[in-house]
């Protein structure tokens, strides 16, 4: 397959430059059933798959049978080029065979899209997602057809905070001093998790990956690159589930006070709990993939100034739920600064759930570009060593006979 720079991913995948005015002309969106969407791209004559976007409130989750044995693992990333990359880079992770069928938490606005900030609307499109360093945003490019569906067919009707009194702009909550005073005077219980929602998109086909020889370039997945993609066996296709949770911008939109931090702390815990329950549900509905019991969580809003202590405390409060779920939960910190703040709070939860602390190494782009070659070289090296050892053993046994 041809590789290409991230700036060109949309035309390489769909055959046209992204133009919001032409989306419905070049794409046919078909709801197949209550949980499945097919998107036919006329330029590529290819059908893409993703799940319908469904919003769920806290109370809509039914009690699930306790499995036990769930674990929390915490990952320390080291920036853009971390090794092994599959624990921090969501494009790599969603393409990894061990995580086929896994659930990934994606930070979003209340519209369940990855628009960059409160000044960016859905009409800006999704092409720029490839340049955003937030894990979920760049990760959503791996399932680009799902992002296309959310942005152009769902965002105008979706509001994950529609049962709250917040003022919002393009799906981002706005709280200045005057607004904070207004919220304080309301008879509204911000600690009630039932006011908040997440969005879920199941069985999203993974269509883009990083190039195996040039890490900073993309490729269209060859395993799914077929004009009759909708006829392929789902068991043979790399699929993931995605959960969309609201993140909050304390750098530009929200004043950081005790009051606003308490509100966000409550919402974060509600969203982390619902994400775990959604992944638990996904693992029961679709149990036959190797990654069906895997969940990736992210430090929601950490890049936007949300306190990492608040984030870690919200995850810590989910310890019993993680254990009951039976899931392998990876809390992926993209940078060491995120890890240092969160690990001090989550260390005991990791230990109590028999989880692991995964420390990645900071490497170069070239190191990751040659990853497959390096792994192959190591295999050859160890094969040679083992063969030499066997030959030496045979030689020594003959000497001893004499």
Query: CATH number, domain at 336?
Result: 3.40.220.10
For residue 2, being part of any structural domain is answered with no
| pLDDT given for residue 34 in this prediction | 86
pLDDT (mean) for 365-377 = 59
Cβ neighbours for 402, distance < 8 A, ≥ 6 positions apart: none
Residue 397 confidence class, pLDDT cut points 50, 70, 90: low
| pLDDT given for residue 177 in this prediction | 98
How many Å apart are CA 165 and CA 182, to the nearest integer?
Answer: 10
pLDDT (mean) for 67-86 = 95
The pairing of beta strand 36-41 with beta strand 27-33? antiparallel
Show the beta-strand stretches assigned E in 58-145.
71-76, 82-83, 103-108
Domain containing residue 349: 50-369
Contact 203, 36 (CB under 8 A): yes
Task: State yes or no: pLDDT of 324 exceeds 80.
Answer: yes
| pLDDT given for residue 126 in this prediction | 98
For residue 22, being part of any structural domain is answered with no
| pLDDT given for residue 363 in this prediction | 87
Residue 377 confidence class, pLDDT cut points 50, 70, 90: very low
For residue 12, being part of any structural domain is answered with no
For residue 327, being part of any structural domain is answered with yes
pTM: 0.90
pLDDT (mean) for 338-344 = 97
Residue 212 confidence class, pLDDT cut points 50, 70, 90: confident
Task: State yes or no: pLDDT of 24 exceeds 80.
Answer: yes
Task: State yes or no: pLDDT of 359 exceeds 50.
Answer: yes
How many Å apart are CA 3 and CA 7, to the nearest integer?
Answer: 12
| pLDDT given for residue 374 in this prediction | 39
Using one digit for the tens of pLDDT, what is the confidence trace for 215-263?
999 999 965 444 544 455 666 799 999 999 999 999 999 999 999 999 9
How many Å apart are CA 88 and CA 298, to the nearest integer?
Answer: 9
For residue 32, being part of any structural domain is answered with no
pLDDT (mean) for 155-163 = 97
Using one digit for the tens of pLDDT, what is the confidence trace for 342-356?
999 999 999 999 999
More confident residue, 132 or 222: 132
For residue 29, being part of any structural domain is answered with no
Domain tally, the chain: 1
For residue 65, being part of any structural domain is answered with yes
Question: Positive or negative CA dihedral for 293, 61, 50, 371?
Answer: negative
| pLDDT given for residue 232 in this prediction | 54
| pLDDT given for residue 228 in this prediction | 47
How many Å apart are CA 207 and CA 13, to the nearest integer?
Answer: 8
How many Å apart are CA 156 and CA 111, to the nearest integer?
Answer: 7
Task: State yes or no: pLDDT of 39 exceeds 60.
Answer: yes
| pLDDT given for residue 375 in this prediction | 43
Task: State yes or no: pLDDT of 97 exceeds 80.
Answer: yes
| pLDDT given for residue 389 in this prediction | 58
For residue 243, being part of any structural domain is answered with yes
Residue 391 confidence class, pLDDT cut points 50, 70, 90: low
Using one digit for the tens of pLDDT, what is the confidence trace for 271-312?
999 999 999 999 999 999 999 999 999 999 999 999 999 999
């Amino acid at each position: 397959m041809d590789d290409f720079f991230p700036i060109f991913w949309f035309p390489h995948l769909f055959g046209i430059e992204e133009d919001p005015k032409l989306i419905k002309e070049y794409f046919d969106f078909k709801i197949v059933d209550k949980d499945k969407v097919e998107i036919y791209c006329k330029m590529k004559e290819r059908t893409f798959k993703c799940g319908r976007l469904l919003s769920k409130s806290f109370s809509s989750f039914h009690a699930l049978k306790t499995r036990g044995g769930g674990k929390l693992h915490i990952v320390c990333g080291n920036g853009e080029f971390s090794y092994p990359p599959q624990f921090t880079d969501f494009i790599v992770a969603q393409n990894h065979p061990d995580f086929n069928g896994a659930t990934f938490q994606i930070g979003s606005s209340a519209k369940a899209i990855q628009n960059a900030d409160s000044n960016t609307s859905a009409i800006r499109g999704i092409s720029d997602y490839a340049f955003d360093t937030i894990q979920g945003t760049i990760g959503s490019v791996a399932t680009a057809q799902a992002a296309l569906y959310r942005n152009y067919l769902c965002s105008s009707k979706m509001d994950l905070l529609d049962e709250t009194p917040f003022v919002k702009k393009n799906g981002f909550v706005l709280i200045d001093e005057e607004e904070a005073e207004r919220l304080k005077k309301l008879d509204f219980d911000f600690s009630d998790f039932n006011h908040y929602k997440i969005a879920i998109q199941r069985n999203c086909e993974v269509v883009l990956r990083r190039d195996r020889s040039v890490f900073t370039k993309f490729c269209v997945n060859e395993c799914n690159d077929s004009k009759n993609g909708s006829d392929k066996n789902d068991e043979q296709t790399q699929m993931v589930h995605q959960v969309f949770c609201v993140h909050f911008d304390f750098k530009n939109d929200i004043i950081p006070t005790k009051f606003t931090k308490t509100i966000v702390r409550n919402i974060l815990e509600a969203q982390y709990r619902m994400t775990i329950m959604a992944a638990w549900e996904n693992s029961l509905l679709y149990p036959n993939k190797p990654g069906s019991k895997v969940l990736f969580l992210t430090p929601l809003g950490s890049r936007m100034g949300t306190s990492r202590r608040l984030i870690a405390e919200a995850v810590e409060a989910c310890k019993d739920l993680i254990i009951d779920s039976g899931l392998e939960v990876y809390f992926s910190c993209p940078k060491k600064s995120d890890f240092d703040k969160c690990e001090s709070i989550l260390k005991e939860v990791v230990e109590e759930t028999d989880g692991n602390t995964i420390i990645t190494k900071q490497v170069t782009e070239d190191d990751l570009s040659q990853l497959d070659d390096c792994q192959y070289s190591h295999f050859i090296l160890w094969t040679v060593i083992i063969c030499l050892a066997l030959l030496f053993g045979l030689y020594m046994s003959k000497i001893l006979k004499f």
